[in-house]
Amino acid sequence: MPSKDRATHLTRRGLLAAGGALGLGAALAACGGGAQDDKGSAGAASGPWTFTDDRRKTVEAKSVPKNIVAFVGTAAALHDYGVEVKGVFGPTTVEDPKTKQVTPDVQAGDLDVDKLTVIGNRYDEFDIEKYLGLEPELLVSAMWLPGKLWYVPEASYDKVVGLAPTVALEASATTMAKAVQRHADLAKSLGADLASTRVADARARFEKASARLRAAAKARPEITVMIGSASAELFYVSLAAKSADTAYFEELGVRFVKPKVDEQGFFESLSWENVDTYQADVIIMDNRSSAVQPADLKTKPTWNRLPAVKAGQVHPRVTEPIFSYDKCATVLDDLAQAIENARKVA
C-alpha cells in the first residue's frame, strides 16, 4: 500500500493505505503476456535485447542489460528468479526508533541490502547522481498508476526516465498469478534460467498453494475476510478487485467485505469511531512499515471490539507482494491456513 502526496488525484496516504493495492486504470487486455522477442531469451549474453512491458511499450537495447536499477520489491522478485540488480529505490531498510537498529524492510525480501546501492529509501527520494554513478542500462519498477513507474518522484520523473530505458510491470490492474508470470518473463529475458530446480520447485509450491486456498475457500464459504490498513487517523477498507493479490484470492473463491468505496473506487476511509461499520471473521492488515500495525492499535476501543480482533483472527497482509513464485506461494499458504482455522464470529 503506497502513500504520499502526488500530482495525481490519489493522495500518498490514500494509495499507501489502499495498499499499493489500489490499482488504477482499466485491466490490461493481456496482463499475462506483453510480447517478448526471442532475442531476449534466457542465457542471452550479447546481441539485441527487447522486451514489451505492461505499458505495451517495447524496450530495446543493443545487448542484454547488466547494470539494472529497480524498485526494491521488483528487485526482490528478480532476485528470486536469479537476476541481480546493482541499485534499488523504495522502502529498503527500516530503523527502529528506539534502538536505532537498521534492518531490511519487508519489501526487500531476500535481497542482501548491504550489497546494493540505495538510490532512495522512501517516496520522493531518488538520488540522480547515485543513479548515474551506476551507469544504468535499465530501470524497472512496478506500475500502480497507469503508465507510471512506482516510486520515481514526479518532480524528477521526466529526467529520470530519460537517462536509461525503463520497464513497468503491472501491480494493480492484474492478478497475482499474471503478475508473477510477467516478472518471470522479464527475468528470463535478462538471462534467468526458469527451468532451474529452484524456480521449478517454487512454481510447484505456488500452484499447490493456489489449489489449497481454492479448497479452503470452498470448504469454508461462511468465512468473510476484510482487507484493512491503519493510520493514526483513519482505517481503510479496500475493495478486493482492485489489487493484484486480493483479486486473485477472490478469483480462487475467497469472500471479502465489499466496502462503499469513494469516487475513485478503490477503498473506503473510516474514522476510528466508525471502524465497526463492517463485520468480518478474518481481517488481513497491511504489513508495510508505512502502516500502523495491529499491535499498536490496542488503544483504539472500537478496534478491540471487532469480532475478528476479539477472536485473534487478524493476520498480516503482504500489501505489495514480491511477485515471484517463492514469495507468493507463502502468501497463499498463509491465507489458506487462516481461513481453514477461522471460527465464524461475524
| pLDDT tens-digit series, residues 316-344 | 999 999 999 999 999 999 999 999 999 99
Query: Once rounded to an integer, what is the mean pLDDT over residues 190-217?
Result: 98
Residue 261 is predicted with a pLDDT of: 87
Query: Once rounded to an integer, what is the mean pLDDT over residues 99-119?
Result: 96
* Band (214; pLDDT cuts 50, 70, 90): very high
- Cross-strand pairs, 234: 271
CB-CB neighbours of 99 under 10 Å: 8
Residue 16 is predicted with a pLDDT of: 47
97 has pLDDT over 90: no
| pLDDT tens-digit series, residues 308-318 | 999 999 999 99
- Listed residue (167, 124, 169, 165) closest to 144, CA to CA: 169
Cα–Cα separations (whole angstroms), residue 75 to 81, 87, 293, 323: 10, 9, 25, 10
Residue 264 is predicted with a pLDDT of: 73
Residue 8 is predicted with a pLDDT of: 34
Q: Which residue has the higher pLDDT, 93 or 17?
A: 93
Give the global pTM.
Answer: 0.85
- Listed residue (252, 219, 55, 239) closest to 147, CA to CA: 55
- Cross-strand pairs, 167: 140
* Band (266; pLDDT cuts 50, 70, 90): confident
Residue 9 is predicted with a pLDDT of: 34
Query: Once rounded to an integer, what is the mean pLDDT over residues 256-270?
Result: 89
| pLDDT tens-digit series, residues 6-63 | 223 344 444 444 443 333 333 323 333 333 333 333 344 457 999 999 999 999 999 9
Query: Once rounded to an integer, what is the mean pLDDT over residues 101-106?
Result: 95
If you average pLDDT over every residue of the chain, what do you get? Answer: 88
- Listed residue (262, 259, 211, 243) closest to 317, CA to CA: 243
What amino acid is encoded at 108 in this protein? A
Residue 46 is predicted with a pLDDT of: 59
Residue 3 is predicted with a pLDDT of: 39
CA 259/CA 321 separation, integer angstroms: 22
What amino acid is encoded at 176 in this protein? M
Residue 179 is predicted with a pLDDT of: 98
| pLDDT tens-digit series, residues 148-175 | 999 999 999 999 999 999 999 999 899 9
* Band (233; pLDDT cuts 50, 70, 90): very high
98 has pLDDT over 50: yes
